[in-house]
Amino acid sequence: MRIKNKILLSAAASLVISAVIAFFVFSILRKIQNETARAGVYSEIEDETTALSLLVSGFPSQPDATRIRQIQAVRTALEKYLGRLSSFDALEESLIQEIRTNAHVLGNTLEMVISSPGGQAHGSDELRDVLVSHLSMKTQFIADDTKRLMKISQSRITAAQRQADILILALIVALIVINAAISILSGRSIVRVQERLSIALTEAEQRRQILEAMMEHIPLGITIADAPDVRIRTVSRYGRELTQKPRQQIEGIAVDQHAERWQIFSADGITPASNEILPLTRATQKGEVVKNEEWVLGSPDGTQITILCNAAPIRDAHGNITGGVIGWQDVTERKRMEDALRQLNETLEQRISERTEVIEARNRQLQSLAVELIEAEERERRRISELLHDDLQQVLASARFTLQSVREGLPEVPELLDVEKLLKTSIDKSRRLSHELSPAVLHHAGLVSALEWLKRQMHEQFGLKVLLDTDANHLHVESTPLKVFLFRAAQELLFNIIKHAGVKNAHVILSNRNGDLVLSVSDQGCGIDPAKLNAPSAASGLGLLSLRERANSIGGRLTIQSSPGQGTRLTLTVPAKLDITGGTPTAEAQLVVAPVAHASAPRENEKAIRVLLADDHKVMRQGLIRIIANQPNIEFAGEAANGLEALELARQFRPDVVIMDVGMPEMDGIEATRRIKAELPDVRVIGLSMFEDDQAARSMREAGAEAFVMKTASSSELLKAIYGMEKGVK
């Protein structure tokens, strides 16, 4: 292509150069033609000048009449001469101007000759001679200038002819050179074309040899077919051996014989394949590219092999399909190994699943055991707390009520007053110990309220200021064991700060992160030695190792960040819901009734106030009955041992006042109060509690109670609440 372009460029250049030279030759020829015409004019002028000279020279010897005619002829010749001069260009402007000047002078002289007396046959001979001499001189001047013009014109013609000869010679040389260059380029083009043709033939032969080697030695079935009838051109040696068919049985057959001749089945090895859906047919006739399709080939001995096929169309330079090619290989052994591996994987997965189930079951058992351990520990705490609450505290409270009743009819006895103070002190200490063992707020309210109580206890008893951060709106701990575990963990970690950190400030954070409850307890104290982090010790209670193991057993974790002198941060993360069955029963509030003191006497003629007592401790109910039995305008309506019984008795007797213990079995006092107020809104409810529990007091008021009285308060406070003299008593 490049050589062809060079030849075309050379031819175009030769044409351009020839045209330019021809243009210059034509211009020079036109110039020669113009100079020749000019020389002819100069020749005619020279002839006229010669005739004029002859006429002037013979002028004196002629008769007068003849002279007149001659003068007219000279005038005519002079006008013609001047007319020719006016047509010349400015190439010889100076000579022509000189000739024109002489011609005018000559004309004026002729006029003088004609108008002189001699011109009328009487003129002076001397004047004539002078005029004739002057005419002759001017005529000679004109003749000389005309010859000079002739020489200039001849020299120009000669120079133009030389230029024309040179240009013609240059044109001939240029044409010869261009023709030679074209011939050389044409020769090179032929040589290069021959070289390229030889290279192409060599490459084609190499490709043929490569293709033959591939078809002969590559362990892959390769089949090449021609379009459009998918007639098989050739099959590789591996393909012929794999199908156990000679070349003449498979090469040259058209598409309608493929499936039958090759014994092709679908991947199941049962369904015979149709010729239209075979990969080679789809590639050759539809231009489809087939990738990794499995087919089954039958053999003469009745066995079958699974082959993996990839097919594609063969296209020419214009994109037209000229044939198709398919590559296929025996994957029977691989399929067998895949099936064996699949079965092995299924068996392994089954075993892993079984092992996983066993591990998960053991984890659930471990978690259940951990929860049971937490519950057992809490039950033991509650058992001891209940012993204090149900027995010792009730006996002490009843003894105090009895002592107060006895003192009402006796004079002031200091010893009895001391006994009452001792009873009150015993009640307070017993109540404090009972509450520390099993805080009522932990069972009646949520975890946040329990932590608030723990915060106050730590400050009141040990002077530890606890900063508590919680998201109360998003913290709902439904599992009682989990709530107890987090509370006890926070309590233990705060005790560790009191014992070991050497500071009076701590920071507790409780949050919910992605379904996990996160409890963080930190301080800026002396820190913990990393070597002692995992060492349980009696001095540290549960010990961090024990706490970590318990957290792990319920699916949580304990992370410790600490270094000596840099403070400590312990983060306990547990799932918000424990995946276990069963659990501990809902905790009941364990409260003790406080004795009452003297109350103001009611006004006479008032209607008796019918009072229903609800408390799960019989000794407490008996003490309350003795208090109200001797009071004016108060009538005992009945007693209930739990919230459900209190609700039924309220429906039956319609009392004016219900004295409701907060914590009772079957139904607690809060729920019983809510239902009584919903059904009997005129009934007044007074809440009772052994503990100073703000949350319980708020819950009772929200349920509808108009007053909340501590059982450790004096009897007068309770009586005031019954008479309605003081509401909201605490």
For the chain, what percent of residues have pLDDT higher than 90?
14
Q: Which of 624, 710, 627, 707 has the alpha carbon at shortest distance from 673? A: 707
Q: Which long-range contacts (CB under 8 A, 24 or more apart) does 623-631 make?
A: 623/397, 623/398, 623/401, 623/402, 623/593, 623/595, 624/401, 624/593, 624/659, 626/401, 626/402, 626/405, 627/401, 627/405, 627/595, 627/596, 627/715, 627/718, 627/719, 628/719, 628/722, 630/405, 631/599, 631/719
- 3-class secondary structure, 197: helix
* Range picked from 51-60, 411-420, 463-472 for highest mean pLDDT: 463-472
* 435 vs 425: CA distance, rounded Å: 15
Supply the DSSP string of 520-575, one letter for each residue. EEEE-SS---GGGTT---GGGTTHHHHHHHHHHHTT-EEEEEE-TTS-EEEEEEEE
Helix (H, G, I), strand (E, B) or coil at 300: coil
Fold of 439-575: Heat Shock Protein 90 (3.30.565)
How much is the pLDDT for 474?
63
Write the pLDDT tens digit of every residue in 621-657.
Answer: 887 887 787 788 888 889 999 999 999 999 999 999 9
Q: Look at the pTM and tell me if it is higher than 0.75.
A: no
> Domain spans of the chain?
2-187, 218-330, 439-575, 609-723
Is 503 or 51 the better-scoring residue by pLDDT? 503
> DSSP class of residue 713?
S
Q: At what angle do helices 480-496 and 543-553 cross, to 10 degrees?
A: 160
Non-local (6+) Cβ contacts of 395 within 8 A are: 619
CA distances from 584 to 1, 298, 371, 377, 718 (A): 97, 71, 9, 11, 35
Q: What are the φ and ψ backbone dihedral angles of 395, each rounded to 5 degrees? A: -65, -45
- pLDDT at 586 exceeding the cut of 90: no
Q: 602 falls in which pLDDT band (50, 70, 90)?
A: very low
**DSSP E strands, 261-339:** 264-265, 290-298, 304-315, 321-330
Confidence of residue 685 (pLDDT cuts 50, 70, 90): very high
What is the CATH code of the structural domain delimited by 609-723? 3.40.50.2300
Return the half-sphere exposure (C-beta side, CA atoms, 13 A cut-off) of residue 160.
Answer: 19
Longest CA pairwise span in the chain (Å)? 211
- Whether the ω angle into residue 439 lies within 30 degrees of 0, i.e. cis, is no
* pLDDT higher than 90, residue 495: no
Residue 459 has pLDDT above 80, yes or no: yes
| Per-residue pLDDT tens over the stretch 414-428 | 877 788 788 788 877
224-245: per-residue pLDDT in tens? 999 888 898 888 888 888 777 7
Q: Sheet holding 707-710: strands in order across? A: 634-640, 609-614, 657-661, 684-689, 707-710
- Tell me the per-residue pLDDT of 13-38, one tens digit each, with 9 for 90 and over: 767 777 777 777 677 777 777 767 66
> How far is it, in rounded angstroms, from Cα 28 to Cα 25?
5
Q: Does the pLDDT value for residue 686 go beyond 90?
A: yes
CATH T-level topology, domain 218-330: Beta-Lactamase (3.30.450)
For the residues 473-486, what does the mean pLDDT come to? 74
* Euclidean distance between CA atoms 487 and 493, whole angstroms: 10
| Dihedral, CA of residue 162, residue 164, residue 165 and residue 166, to nearest 10 | 90
Q: What CA–CA distances, in Å, run from 525 to 85, 547, 564, 565?
A: 134, 20, 9, 7
- Average pLDDT over the chain reads 76
pLDDT score at 571: 92
- Alpha-carbon distance of 29 to 32, in angstroms, equals 5
* CATH number of the 2-187 domain: 1.20.120.1730
DSSP assignments along 329-351, one per residue: EE-HHHHHHHHHHHHHHHHHHHH
Query: Which pLDDT score, from 0 to 100, does residue 302 have?
Result: 77
